[in-house]
Structure 1
Amino acid sequence: MHEQNVENANIRYKVPFVPFIPVMSIFFNVALIVNLNWLTWMRFIIWMVIGFSVYFFYGIKSSKAEYNAELREKINIDNIKKWNSFDSTSQNEDILMARD
């Protein structure tokens, strides 16, 4: 079994009984979540739907995917293979100019 590296440098707080306490806390938290009222679950689901909707619709609207597609066209794989590295300053400048 692989032993985890532990650094004992001035740790102010340590959890006692490390394998026992975390497992018990997970158990108790799951038990609390499962025993929530159905109205609380409905609120949670509604807020999650609202949150995911905002996240995904805003993400699609303000996505940089189109910008990245244009950038990929300007800096194609053939040029990268031809350059073989990004060591040259002029090549790096070409890449930076393609982003603008």
Structure 2
Amino acid sequence: MLTHGIPKIKLLFESPIKFADPIGFGEPLSLIFALIGEVIAPILIIIGFKTRWATLPSIITMAVAAFVVHISDPLGTKEKALLFLIAFIAIFFAGPGKFSIDGSKK
């Protein structure tokens, strides 16, 4: 997921910001939401900090990518978004592992 989000960081510093606005929040806010779902939340998931909460922005981002942005595209195009969505949902239900920051609190 980070390989999709990190290149978008440079878009934050362009003027004017040019980014898709699939749900009508405006281009800057849509970009910020995408960066949270594709960079910040995955980093939190990797280290295992607030793992279940961190999956929620990523789940929403991938659901929007698959079912709003790529809705009319063939399955092969939306396949990555769907696979990431399934993985984030699985992490949400499974929770952090025992070696995560959250895992030591049991």
Normalized per residue, the structure richer in helix is 2
Q: Could you say whether these structures have the same fold, taking a TM-score greater than 0.5 normalized by the shorter chain as the test?
A: no
Question: Which structure's relative contact order is higher, taking Cα pairs within 8 Å and 6+ residues apart?
Answer: 2
Larger radius of gyration: 1
Q: What is the TM-score normalised by the length of structure 2?
A: 0.24
